[in-house]
């Protein structure tokens, strides 16, 4: 079974530019999550999709971040315009769905975003 | 706000040693605790603990949850250089009043384990 994949693995952009990160969850996993770790801090939750619907976006830092999951398969996370404090590693995770039951989440390798 | 604290933050041992990593939490409506191992890229799932006092074991790794003490430990016996990694602890909370925030994991800072030959 293929794991969670993310693209790109590393992105370097200038402040003010736009970047789009992509996540492909494990096949059949309806739950998809985005997390972020900024340097020196713990991994923090950004948002949770169930299929194509946003279940919880309480962790999104501001309206410069836009996540989509059209068709309930892969997801994109767009940062526009990027700021220096957006630098960090963005992780995607997926899990099986069974209503409110919490299954373990499987993580992708992350996208390292550097904003200069 | 939910809080997860891991200790120690870093640990250096020699092959063959036994290590114990700690995780404590302050979480509203705690549901379960998870351990992950992160070597280079993706955190890989190790254990999910929901019931207090029941040990979960996988090879040389084992973990147990103590709901009374709001903590968990991860033990690694006969360590090998391949055990060198960041070990992450995370918790699920139960449903909040709105029933929406059930999927998010709250992570600790991680413990960096280095095993020397």
DSSP sequence for B27-85: -TTEEEEEEEEESSSSEEEEEEE-STT--EEETTEEEEEETTTTEEEEEE-S--GGG-E
* B61 DSSP β-pair partners: B58, B76
**Per-residue pLDDT reduced to its tens digit, A14-54:** 999 999 999 999 999 999 999 999 988 999 999 999 999 99
Q: Rounded distance, CA B28 to CA B44, Å? A: 26
A55 interfaces chain B, CB cutoff of 8 Å: yes
3-class secondary structure, B92: strand
- Looking only at the bridges linking them, the beta strands covering B85-93 and B111-116 are antiparallel
Cβ distance B107 to A100 less than 8 Å, yes or no, reads no
Which residue matches tokens 């029941």?
B54
More confident residue, B58 or B102: B58
- Chain A CA closest to residue B32: A102
Torsion of CA A46, B112, B64, B59, to 10 degrees: 110
A102 vs B99, B102, B106: nearest CB: B102
Q: What pLDDT score does A74 carry?
A: 97
A59 vs B48, B104, B109: nearest CB: B104
**Per-residue pLDDT reduced to its tens digit, B43-94:** 999 999 999 999 999 999 999 999 999 999 999 999 999 999 999 999 998 7
**Two structure tokens written together for B78:** 């006969």
**Two structure tokens written together for B20:** 């114990």
Nearest chain A Cα distance for residue B46, angstroms: 10
Looking at every residue in chain A, the average pLDDT score rounds to: 94
- Confidence label for B29 from pLDDT (cuts 50, 70 and 90): confident
Nearest chain A Cα distance for residue B106, angstroms: 7
Residues of A in contact with B103 (CB under 8 A): 31, 33, 48, 50, 55-56, 95, 102
- Looking only at the bridges linking them, the beta strands covering A111-115 and A10-13 are parallel
- Confidence label for A67 from pLDDT (cuts 50, 70 and 90): very high
- Nearest-Å Rg of the Cα atoms of chain A is 13
Residue A85, Ramachandran bin (φ over 0: left; ψ between -120 and 50: alpha; else beta): alpha
Residues of B in contact with A56 (CB under 8 A): 100-104
Q: What is the DSSP string of B38-53?
A: ESSSSEEEEEEE-STT
A45 vs B44, B95, B105: nearest CB: B105
């Amino acid at each position: 079974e293929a794991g969670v994949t993310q693209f790109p693995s590393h992105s370097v952009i200038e402040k003010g530019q736009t970047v789009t990160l992509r996540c492909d969850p494990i096949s059949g996993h309806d739950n998809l999550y985005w997390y972020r770790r900024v340097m020196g801090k713990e991994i923090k939750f950004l948002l949770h999709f169930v299929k194509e619907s946003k279940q919880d976006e309480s962790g999104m830092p501001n309206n410069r971040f836009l996540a989509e999951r059209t068709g309930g398969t892969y997801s994109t996370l767009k940062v526009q315009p990027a700021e220096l404090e957006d630098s960090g590693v963005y992780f995607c995770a997926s899990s099986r769905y069974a209503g409110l039951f919490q299954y373990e989440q499987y993580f992708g390798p992350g996208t390292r975003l550097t904003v200069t | 706000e939910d809080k997860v604290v891991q200790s120690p933050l870093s640990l250096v041992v020699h092959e063959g040693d036994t290590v114990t990593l700690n995780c404590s939490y302050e979480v509203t409506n705690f549901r379960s605790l998870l351990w992950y191992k992160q070597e280079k890229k993706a955190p890989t799932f190790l254990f999910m603990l929901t019931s207090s006092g029941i040990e979960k074991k996988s090879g040389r790794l084992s973990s147990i949850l103590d709901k009374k003490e709001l903590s968990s430990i991860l033990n690694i016996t006969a360590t090998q250089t391949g055990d060198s990694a960041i070990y992450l602890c995370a918790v699920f909370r139960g449903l909040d009043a709105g029933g929406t925030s059930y999927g998010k994991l709250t992570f600790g800072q991680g413990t960096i384990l280095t095993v020397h030959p």
